[in-house]
Amino acid sequence: MRLFVTGGAGFIGSHYVRTLLSGGYPGYEQADVTVLDKLTYAGTRSNLPADHPRLHFVEGDVCDRALLFDLLPGHDAVVHFAAESHVDRSLTDASTFVRTNVGGTQTLLDACVASGVQRMVHISTDEVYGSIAEGSWTEAWPLLPNSPYAASKAAADLVARAYWRSHGFDVSITRCSNNYGPYQHPEKLIPRFVTRLLRGETVPLYGDGGNVREWLHVADHCRAVQLVLTRGRAGEVYNIGQGNERTNRQMTDDLVRLCGADPALVRMVPDRKGHDLRYALDDTKIREELGYAPAVPFERGLAEVVDWYRSHTSWWDARRVGAGVASRLAAAGV
């Protein structure tokens, strides 16, 4: 078995690859893995095991058609994590998001069809659905994205579906709730707040802090992706959730407590443009069809993540320059 993983040096992709190489997915203990990653600010080679005999790493762009046509032949399946994923950045420059998320997905699909790759899982997000005041989204919910990032992911989802319908290509789409875990870049809410609070720095909380999100541990997300890879149906979408909901205010309070920080470090800032009020996924389909269930309780997972950042200051200290962009945007009310 040979797998091709795009974005495999990023937060979620590297967790998937590390688990795969350590024998964490039954039936794939001997799988060879090719990782393609552009190594932007959000990805780093150090997230992956150096010199693993079953890992082949290629630094490159998912939009590079010639490179993909050269690399893909001989691979059995593709897991497509590669994406620009930060909403604040998409509000200041959407062009990179459209290029990578839409154009990159289309180029990858072209290369898969031409190269004889048999299977692909396209990793998407719950943000493609927009915002929901009550209830939860099923996979049949219309796509109503509210940020350039979410719109680019929704477009990529539709391109993937079109390749299933037009070319008969075996592709499934996953849409997950907010992820958290170790090795997450400190531009994202949990690591940004944790790393700042541990240093005694202020943290910006948008609006009144009433926006609601579900939080999914990266290990649970990656297990679900593997289930979809091995048992998911072609052309189908699978929501991946956790079933817990936290307002941003509640999450902030949890992080302040776990970091042992002063609550006065929380600073209210003007709300973000087009800030979705609430996300909530109905993941009945993947639970009933594929037997998925999250295994990491939120309270335990969050405490372990805070401890990880507390004991890995050298890892995140080197990445706080990129995170500073998001902080400056928040401070400006973007």
121 inside domain: yes
CATH number for 77 = 3.40.50.720
Same domain, 37 and 50: yes
The domain containing residue 107 runs over which residues?
A: 2-177+218-240
**Residue 221 class from Cβ within 10 Å (0-12 exposed, 13-18 middle, 19+ buried)?**
buried
pLDDT digits (tens, 9 = 90+) for 188-245: 999 999 999 999 999 999 999 999 999 999 999 999 999 999 999 999 999 999 989 9
Same domain, 86 and 235: yes
pLDDT digits (tens, 9 = 90+) for 65-119: 999 999 999 999 999 999 998 888 999 999 999 999 999 999 999 999 999 999 9
Annotated catalytic residue: which of 32, 37, 84, 126? 126
Percentage of the chain with pLDDT > 90? 88
Same domain, 187 and 320: yes
Annotated catalytic residue: which of 28, 149, 163, 238? 149
CATH number for 204 = 3.90.25.10
Same domain, 30 and 118: yes
Same domain, 57 and 132: yes
* Band of residue 321 on the pLDDT scale cut at 50, 70, 90: low
Please report, for residues 4, 15, 83, 148, 315, the alpha-carbon distance to residue 159 in angstroms, rounded to integers and kept in the order given.
19, 26, 15, 16, 36
Total tally of structural domains belonging to the chain: 2
| Sequence-distant contacts of 302-305: CB under 8 A, at least 24 apart | 302/180, 302/190, 302/215, 302/254, 302/255, 302/258, 303/258, 305/180, 305/181, 305/182, 305/190, 305/194
DSSP character for 37? E
Same domain, 208 and 149: no
199 inside domain: yes
Same domain, 317 and 171: no
* Band of residue 332 on the pLDDT scale cut at 50, 70, 90: very low
Does the annotation mark 16 as catalytic?
no
45 inside domain: yes
Same domain, 11 and 157: yes
pLDDT digits (tens, 9 = 90+) for 133-160: 999 999 999 999 999 999 999 999 999 9
pLDDT digits (tens, 9 = 90+) for 22-79: 999 999 999 999 999 999 988 899 999 989 999 999 999 999 999 999 999 999 999 9
Q: What is the DSSP string of 249-270?
A: HHHHHHHHHHHT--GGGEEEEP
Q: Note the Cα 251 to chain centre separation in Å.
A: 19
Q: Please name the residues in contact with 304: beta carbons below 8 A apart, sequence gap of 6 or more.
A: none
Same domain, 94 and 127: yes
- Per the confidence metrics, is the pTM higher than 0.85? yes
Same domain, 227 and 306: no
Same domain, 235 and 248: no
Does the annotation mark 149 as catalytic?
yes
Same domain, 139 and 198: no
Annotated catalytic residue: which of 32, 84, 88, 127? 127
